[in-house]
Chains A and B, each alone.
Chain A
Amino acid sequence: MSYLQEVYPLLQSAFWLTLKISFWGILNAFILGMVMSIIIFYRIPILSQIFNGFVAFFRNTPLLLHLFFLYFGFPRAFGIVMSFETTALIGLSLLGSAYMAEAFKSGIQRIASSQLDSGKAIGLNPFQLARYIIVPQAFTYSVPAIGANCIFLFKETSVFTAIAGTDITTVVINLISNNGHTNENLLFLVIAYAIVIIPFTIALTFIERRARYAEFGA
């Protein structure tokens, strides 16, 4: 117990860093994903093909390799060096936006075509159509998928270990290899993920129930 007290400040700051990167990464992913899914929905030439390829690529390659590529490959080849935090944030945002775009895409597909037709009939332009009809409904339809993505992305932050960051998983594994105390350290790691994900899951079931009120004709 005294051991954990000793290393607690270190663990705490690593935990906050993980939370911080997850929060901004997931927020970026959310916004980027929404924009991409709308562009794909409107079939805007070139852009929609690029984003379709982007989604397919990031959904079918592991985050660990994205991080290696971003951290060791891409910037160094062009003479830019990025910090661990920047790399982690970019990696998480890119991966996340591909997953979020997919979630929104299936949400948009569930919108009744009569909704879109009526919107066009009363003279909404494409932007207004997206703002007043597509986004609110696609959002409510995809709340479960978005929530699952948030949990998935938060868990993926453990992979930051690959680029030797200062996130919670890396710090715990370093502590184990430096001072032993395997059980205490691993217990802390498990608790760190559990205290974020369990309340989030509970909140999510609540939000899902509330969000259904906004579904039209369902």
Chain B
Amino acid sequence: MQNLGLDILDWISIERLLSGLYFTLEVALISIIMTLFWGTIFGIIRTSNRLLVRVPFRLYLEVVRILPTLVLLYLLYYILPAIININISGRVVGILAFSFWGIAEMSDIVRGSILSLPKHQRESALAIGLNQFQLFRYVLLPQALKMAIPPALNLSARIIMTTSLLVLIGVQDIIKVGKEIIEYAAMMNNPMAPFWIYGLILLIFFMICYPLSKLASRLTRKH
């Protein structure tokens, strides 16, 4: 072990990795915002008892539960350009796939927490003459959304981890940048490069996702 190959971790590599991380996080952040917003709305709609509402949403959820996110990504990646005749970038496909998956999960979280509220909350609200909108706005949502925060945080961490799949449809994310650095290092005869670069990227993902899930479990314990 005369040469650990640590020189691959110079400032140029780290700077490039961070710029890749920026694109990764951008996709993740847009997906998370879409997930939280539409997931909440779909979750509220899904508390309805009407068959016409319940069945389609249930089907949507089951599709997401059955398909791996990567398969979803490939489906959109190959099918979307065939349906609408424009070139869609990998990043947009990624955002659509991650949001499609996230919204389904989030709607289930929100629906679950609304339904777990005691029945008398709904009944008393209706008894004092609140309408449906007021019932959700003032009684159900403030309580349910507070309950939904820890699972939503966990879901966000999972979305950030899932963005690692972007490299498989050729998006210039942090892993793709890492691969390029490694390919360059291979030309310079540095066999340790994959070890350090992938190790570093693992650490970066951990540093982003760990605080989120830690916060989630702390909030869960408080309740």
State the Cβ distance, B63 to closest chain A Cβ, in Å: 9
Among A62, A162, A186, A193, residue most surrounded by chain B Cβ atoms (within 10 Å)? A62
Is B145 close to A, CB under 8 A?
no
Smallest CB–CB gap between A176 and chain B, Å?
7
Contact across chains for A68 and B75 when beta carbons are under 8 A apart: no
Residues of chain A within 8 A (CB-CB) of B199 are 69, 73
Would you call A151 an interface residue if the criterion is a C-beta within 8 Å of the partner chain's C-beta atoms? yes
What is the interface residue range for chain A against chain B?
Answer: 35 or more
With A and B bound together, what is the CA distance between A77 and B194 in angstroms?
A: 8
- A156–B162 Cα distance when bound, in Å, is 10
Contact with A along B158-199 (1 / 0, CB 8 A): 000110110110000001000000100000000110111111
Asked if B202 lies at the interface with its beta carbon under 8 angstroms from chain A, I say yes
- Which residue of chain B has the shortest Cβ distance to A76 in the bound complex? B191
Q: Are B66 and A68 in contact (CB under 8 A)?
A: no
* Chain A positions 57 through 72: 1 when the CB is less than 8 Å from some CB of chain B, otherwise 0: 1011110111011001
> Which residues of A55-101 are within 8 A (CB) of B?
56-57, 59-62, 64-66, 68-69, 72-74, 76-77
Does A151 lie within 8 Å of B205, measured CB to CB? no
Q: Do B194 and A76 touch (CB < 8 A)?
A: yes
User: Is there a chain B Cβ closer than 8 Å to A197's Cβ?
Assistant: yes
CB-contact partner of B162 in A62, A72, A161, A197, under 8 A: A62
Q: Which residue of B lies closest to A168 (CB)?
A: B71
From B52-60, B108-116, B206-214, give the one contacting chain A. Answer: B206-214
Once the chains bind, are B198 and A186 in contact (CB under 8 Å)? no
Contact status B74-A65, CB under 8 Å: no
Residues of A within 8 A of B75 (CB): 186, 190
Q: Within 8 Å of chain B (Cβ to Cβ): is A47? A: no
A72–B205 Cα distance when bound, in Å, is 18
Tell whether B70 is near chain A: CB-to-CB under 8 Å: yes
Q: What class of interface size applies to chain B in its complex with A? A: 35 or more
Q: Contact between A158 and B195 (Cβ–Cβ < 8 Å)?
A: no
Which residues in B have their C-beta under 8 angstroms from that of A159? 68, 70, 165
Specify which of A56, A59, A162, A190 is in contact with B168 (CB 8 Å cutoff): A162
B-contacting residues, A159-218, CB 8 Å: 159, 161-162, 169, 173, 176, 182-183, 186, 189-190, 193-194, 197-198, 201
B178's closest neighbor in chain A, by CB?
A68
Q: Which residue of A lies closest to B157 (CB)?
A: A60
Residues of A contacting B209 in the complex (Cβ-Cβ under 8 angstroms): 60-61
Chain A residue at minimum C-beta to C-beta distance from B75: A186
Find chain A residues with CB under 8 A from B195 CB: 69, 73-74, 76-77
Q: Is B82's beta carbon under 8 Å from chain A?
A: yes
Tell me which residues across on chain B come within 8 A of A77, comparing CB atoms. Answer: 191-192, 194-195
A186 lies within 8 A of B65 (CB): no
Known: A61-B209, A77-B191, A197-B65. A158 touches B182 (CB 8 A): no
Contacts of B45 in A (CB 8 A): none
Cβ-defined partner of B198 (8 Å) among A60, A68, A158, A183: A68
Jot down 5 A-B pairs with beta carbons below 8 A, ordered by A.
Answer: A62-B162, A65-B175, A65-B202, A76-B191, A189-B71
Which chain B residues have a beta carbon within 8 Å of chain A's beta carbons? 65-71, 74-75, 78-79, 82, 157, 161-162, 164-165, 167-168, 175, 182, 191-192, 194-199, 201-202, 205-206, 209-210, 213
Given contacts A60-B206, A68-B198, A190-B71, 13 further A-B pairs with CB under 8 A are: A60-B161, A62-B205, A64-B167, A69-B194, A69-B199, A72-B198, A158-B68, A169-B70, A169-B74, A190-B75, A193-B67, A197-B65, A198-B66
